[in-house]
Amino acid sequence: MKKTQNPPKKSANPIKNPAQKPIIKKTDAKRTPKSLSADDVIDDFSRVNYITVTPNQDGQRIDNFLLARLKGLPRSHLYKLIRDDEIRINKKRCKPHDRVNTGDVVRIAPVRLSVRDEPVVSDDFARGLLGRVVFENEGLIVLNKPHGLAVHGGSGESFGVIEAMRVATCKKYLELIHRIDKDTSGLLLIAKKRSTLKDLQEQFREKTIQKSYLCLVVGHVKSDKQIIDQPLLKYTLPSGERRVKIDKQGKPSQTKIEVLARFEIDGRAVSLVRASPLTGRTHQIRVHMASIGHALLGDDKYLRQPAPSAPRLCLHAWQLNLAGDSDATKQFVADVPSDMANLFPKECEFLITHKKS
């Protein structure tokens, strides 16, 4: 007698089409973090951040955009982040000079920041700094920067002009429009509004802003007027210190000079020179003057000849002309500080206080 076989049990979830795979819901898929506004304060950089550019940052270089947010991060580390593809704009690689536009999304990989305390600015220091303001309106501050104070913190400086001014003025938004060396005194432009920053930086790029410096140099410069046209190249010493030299591989650089006086200090020949940089290279006036045999007094980087002693680098950002609608052909003049003015001959004392060219 044959055994009756029971029919196979039907599957609880039969697949009608064997070629059709069941749909599996992905419950562990990674989600892109919510993008933050670049106008907001970002407290946590230990995770990936996505930051949306607003009109307040439109047109800003990505390196400057990041430096304004990654407080305490050395510039060299920032450039390494960019090189290593840790920073992206709209999911694409970028370079330090690339500019961001409104609506762009900047991705910042996790970054460990050193904790930098807010600079402690004494009341006397704040009053002294505010007392050096040459001009101020709703968008601009023109400051007569003292010698020996860096324009911003970093590279061994706990703070600079811009950090101190933010504390002294209690203003959230203040940005440097340009820079001058720590050892140089004189006119420095600071923006109180993003629109002013963009406008004046564009004027610098278009070379419509005219600047004149006063400097004391070794020896008697022969020509009353001349243009020094020599390319400048940055390089780094084994110690890590950055320098600039004349080099065919460097960037085109021109400085117009005019001799205002020839005299002597301690029996050594000295010239008072008005220098107007036609380009804006690092240490431009200092290297150009040294290249024609007339280095600046007090220059610890490029002075390699006997010279009268000086208490400081004798370079002062003296005059600056702005073009624009509201401040058309506006000229600013910064009084020459006494530690440099005391070296002037008597016939040049009229240059120490305000004088328009």
Determine whether 181 is an active site residue.
yes
Residue 313 DSSP code: -
CA distance 40 to 52: 10
- Cβ atoms of 333 and 319 within 8 Å: the answer is yes
Measured distance between the N- and C-terminal CA atoms of the chain, rounded to whole angstroms: 127
For 159, residues 6+ apart whose C-beta sits below 8 A from its C-beta are: 119, 121, 153
3-state secondary structure of 198: helix
Tokens (6 digits) for 140: 């601009």
**Measured torsion, CA atoms of residues 44, 45, 47, 48, in degrees rounded to the nearest 10:** 120
CA distance 96 to 52: 18
Tokens (6 digits) for 57: 């940052």
CA distance 165 to 175: 10
Tokens (6 digits) for 147: 């010698």
Catalytic residue among 63, 104, 181, 183: 181
Q: Write the DSSP assignment of 27-43 as a string of letters.
A: SS---PPPPEETTS---
Q: Which residues are known catalytic residues?
A: 181
